[in-house]
Copies of this chain bind each other. A is one copy, B any other.
Amino acid sequence: MRDQNWHLTNRIAVLRAERKMTQKELAEKAGVSRQTIISIENKKYTPSLLLAFEIANALEVEITEVFAYREEE
């Protein structure tokens, strides 16, 4: 919520590319709009935990393989 210089990162674009899945497809599988996927990929805002799990499910990986919260840049 707070910690300076801790960053949420995500590997959605990479995982999508590996699976040749478009943003539209991922959005549909995760049950959200394409805008939502774009905004999360591009870090416009951070998803809810629920959506984070849905995205991981849609990509068929663990949530920790998609998102990380770590120090530094």
Contact = CB atoms under 8 A, between A and B. Distances in A.
A62 B54 CA distance: 18
Interface residues of A, number: 22
Interface in A1-33: 1-3, 8, 30-32
Tell me how many chains of this kind the complex includes: 2
Nearest to A67: B49
A32 B62 contact: no
A31 B49 contact: no
Contacts of A50: 1, 8, 46, 69
A63 interface: yes
Interface of A: 1-3, 8, 30-32, 46-54, 57, 62-64, 67, 69
